[in-house]
Amino acid sequence: MIRLLRYSLFLVVLSACNRHFHVSEVKPAHYEVKSSKNDSIALLSALPYKQKLDSEMKQVIAYSDSNLTKDGNDVSLGNFACGTVDDYVRVNKNELAGKHIVILNRGGLRNNLPAGEITKGHIFELMPFDNEVVILKISGEKIIEMINSMIKDKKLISRNLSFTSKDKEALDIKIWGSPFNIKHEYYVVTTDYLAMGGDNCSFFAQPISYETTKLKLRDVMINYCLTLTKINKHIIPERNSDVRISK
């Protein structure tokens, strides 16, 4: 008993002087959040939000023959994203045919798409940002700056542009299969995010012309899915890249 009292006294002294606490041991432990039960209060709080969302997001808008990812060397997700924009241009801006490159950023694609049914929710998670599709006209010199950035940072993905790189230099640059000409002007279909200099796209500053489609990239993707489904087609992953950047 006395010992216990002394012990308590000791602790009182200690807590009065917390300058003298020292870390003696640090033990980490991460939890995988997977098999725990759902907390009922949290579920209940989220329910009204979820119900409203689900009614929209569970809508199946397309069917994919296999997973589309941007993992490792897989370019299928990037090809899909650029392909939806290219399709939009083909249908709605036919005058640009043969003259435009689609440029998006790999980092902007935020989630993979599974094989099977693709819902509107999947596309929201792939492209959660409210970025709009814009059309820029820029000089051939700026295209070279853009290609150099593609080689250096590996952040941008493209469509209708092909080249190989050797020792950080682009070779055999072609646009729509035709040799690139630095004296020509080209159209770049991209997002307002990149056009405003996002992901260090400084070469898009002060373009020769700038036109906004007023369409969100996400909606371009959703419309593409709906159109495919309407004509009974599936999303077929394209796993080849027109751009080959050596390490």
Partner 1 sequence: MSEFQNRRDFLKYFIGGTIALSGFDALANDLASKKRIKQLTILYTNDQHSRIEPFPDNDPKYPGQGGFAKRATLIKEIRKTEENVLLLDAGDIFQGTPYFNYYHGELEFKLMSQMGYDAATFGNHDFDMGIENIVTQMPHASFSFLNCNYDFSDTALTGKIQPYKIFNKSGLKIGVFGIGIELEGLVPKHLYGNVKYTDPVACANTTAHHLKHNMNCDYVICLSHLGYKYDSKKISDVTLVPQTKNIDLVIGGHTHTFLNEPVITTNSIGKQTLITQVGWAGIWLGRIDVFFNFRGEKLFQQGTKQNI
Nearest Cα residue to 90 out of 202, 180, 224: 224
Interaction of residue 198 with partner 1, rule CB under 8 A = yes
Segment lying near partner 1 (by CB under 8 A), choices 8-16, 163-171, 180-188, 237-245: 8-16
- Side by side, which strands form the sheet with 100-105? 156-159, 100-105, 185-191, 132-139, 209-216
Interaction of residue 67 with partner 1, rule CB under 8 A = yes
What is the closest distance, in whole angstroms, from the C-beta atom of residue 117 to partner 1 in the complex?
A: 8
* Candidate list 59, 65, 90, 130; residue touching partner 1; CB under 8 A: 130
Interaction of residue 72 with partner 1, rule CB under 8 A = no
Nearest Cα residue to 110 out of 124, 123, 126: 126
Q: Report the SS3 class of residue 192.
A: helix
Q: How far apart are CA 70 and CA 123, in angstroms?
A: 15
Q: How far apart are CA 241 and CA 74, in angstroms?
A: 9
What is the closest distance, in whole angstroms, from the C-beta atom of residue 179 to partner 1 in the complex?
A: 32
What is the closest distance, in whole angstroms, from the C-beta atom of residue 31 to partner 1 in the complex?
A: 4
Q: Name the one residue in this structure whose structure tokens are 């150099």.
A: 148
Q: How far apart are CA 30 and CA 13, in angstroms?
A: 35
The residue (of 30 and 230) whose beta carbon lies closer to partner 1 is 30
* Candidate list 163, 180, 186, 193; residue touching partner 1; CB under 8 A: 193
What is the closest distance, in whole angstroms, from the C-beta atom of residue 207 to partner 1 in the complex?
A: 17
What is the closest distance, in whole angstroms, from the C-beta atom of residue 238 to partner 1 in the complex?
A: 17
Strands 60-64 and 116-119: antiparallel
Q: How far apart are CA 37 and CA 104, in angstroms?
A: 39
Segment lying near partner 1 (by CB under 8 A), choices 5-13, 142-150, 161-169, 226-234: 5-13
Q: Rg for the chain (alpha carbons), in Å? A: 26
* Candidate list 63, 93, 121, 229; residue touching partner 1; CB under 8 A: 121
Q: Given the rule CB under 8 A, which residues bind partner 1?
A: 3, 6-7, 10, 13-15, 17-34, 36-43, 45-46, 49-50, 52-53, 56-57, 67, 69, 71, 110-112, 114-116, 121, 124-125, 128-130, 192-193, 196-200
